[in-house]
Homo-oligomer: A and B are copies of this chain.
Amino acid sequence: MLHVVSFLVLFPPFSLAFTADEVKNLTKYIFATNAYDKSLRPASNQVSPTDLKVSFNLLSINKLDELEEKLVTTAYLTLSWKDEFLTWDRTEFRINKLTLPQNWVWKPDFVLKNGFTEFKELGGSFYYVVLAFDGTLSWKPYQVFQSQCSIDVTYFPFDTQTCNIQFTMWSHYTYQVTLSSSSSSVEMDDYKVNKVWKITSTSQNIDNSGSNSIVTYTLNLKRKPGFYVGNLVTPILFLGVLNILVFIIPADAGEKMSYCVTVALGFIVFLTIISSELPANSDSTPYLSKYLQIQIFMGGIALVISAVQLRLRHKSEQQKVYTPFKLLVNAAFCKKFKAKVSCKDKATPVYEQNKEIQDMKTYDDPITYTWNEVSSAIDFVMFWIYIFVYCISTITIMTILKN
């Protein structure tokens, strides 16, 4: 049918010019004389199905709402079918095609099956359909479709989504109306590029096997991550780095604790932001949320350790350092080794003046351990552990997300 139309478009003055009176005569002939009944499916044999050719011309993706799981698209459908009662002899009437109001003819009850709203009639009272002499009708309803689209945010913001836009003949069974198409995918000629979603591919699937014919248009969408990388991922990675800095701040600077709490609350704020931007989905969790939860957990551990460090730091210096902490200091600073080698070096420039005291101490306990050193040792060890965990978790998440 499309070929016929385009043929007519290209060669409109097929026959000689025709007048308005001739059109009036023709419409009178096909509607009044033939007693056209627009409620009756236009097939002379009522058990042979009418074939409805459909094509979906996507104009733009208005919105993909992750929260409501709704895809809003602007598109126009091209529907064409053969009305066996609206034919005429073009040699007699010298007219190839007519432009008629849509309400004059039978129309299929073709509806959006997976919509958010009640079925709406396509087109409107001011639409026209184009009717060719062989009864082929062409109708181009322009609509804004709100279709349901199940969103999988696991890989957010590097996610791909598959959205279906499904149409069906609601009241006509397959033995009454079948669907077909001259193209094999969504028509994208007039498509206006979306700034967040890239259409990687589209497909069309027509199913005439069920009780009602169904045509499914599938849009495979890939999110362009730039925006979210700049405004969500980068700040989160940045906050993760702040977590590590905790162990650079010395415990006696009097700022460690408040630093920790501020960073921890910053993380919780970000968790709230992410959870408000994504759907409340208990079936799958975005890896980004999981990453944040790991960071929050690490922040919590850092808080506990910092509090303990403060407590140790303010222990009276008379209290001896417990053995596990001694081992930790040894591990962190190779204290034992240094004590033998470099402490000697350090001792020399002090001009032997406090030699006796030092000797005396070395006698009692060859290496002294202060709580200050313990605190520094904890900082040292935790710093490298946190750098390690941060790198591993970040690389892992990024690898998962990008694939």
Residues of A within 8 A of B (CB): 9, 12-13, 17-24, 27, 35, 37, 39-48, 60, 62-63, 68-69, 74, 84-85, 95, 99-101, 104, 107, 109, 111, 115-121, 124-130, 140, 142-144, 148, 150, 170-173, 175-176, 192-193, 195-196, 211, 223-228, 230-231, 234-235, 238, 241-242, 245, 248-250, 252-259, 261-266, 268, 271-273, 275, 279-283, 285, 289, 293, 296, 300, 303-304, 307-308, 310-311, 313-314, 318, 346, 349, 364
Contacts and interface: CB of A to CB of B under 8 A. Distances in A.
Most buried by B among A35, A40, A44: A40
A308 B124 contact: no
Given A20-B85, A124-B119, A128-B171, A310 B265 contact: no
A175 B257 contact: no
A364 to B, nearest CB: 7
Contact of A296 (B116, B238, B289): B238
Given A226-B282, A226-B285, A176 B99 contact: yes
Contact of A13 (B47, B95, B245, B261): B47
Given A195-B281, A249-B311, A282-B226, A318 B346 contact: yes
A225 B148 CA distance: 23
B39 A18 contact: no
B283 A224 contact: yes
Contact of A173 (B12, B69, B258): B12
Contacts of A99: 41, 171-172, 176
Q: How many copies does the complex hold?
A: 5
Contacts of A173: 9, 12
Given A17-B46, A24-B37, A231-B275, A249 B310 contact: yes
Given A140-B170, A226-B283, 19 more contacts: A39-B100, A41-B99, A46-B95, A63-B68, A74-B115, A99-B176, A107-B126, A127-B171, A128-B172, A140-B171, A148-B192, A193-B283, A223-B282, A230-B293, A242-B264, A242-B303, A248-B307, A250-B311, A262-B262
A234 B285 CA distance: 14
A289 B231 contact: yes
Given A85-B20, A195-B281, A282-B226, A253 B250 contact: no
A195 B283 contact: yes
A4 to B, nearest CB: 14
B18 A47 contact: yes
B255 A310 contact: yes
Nearest to A46: B18
Most buried by B among A175, A196, A255: A255
Contacts of A280: 195-196, 227-228
Contacts of A224: 282-283
Nearest to A257: B255
A307 B289 CA distance: 28
A76 B234 CA distance: 46
A142 B113 CA distance: 9
Given A142-B170, A230-B289, A275-B227, A253 B20 contact: no
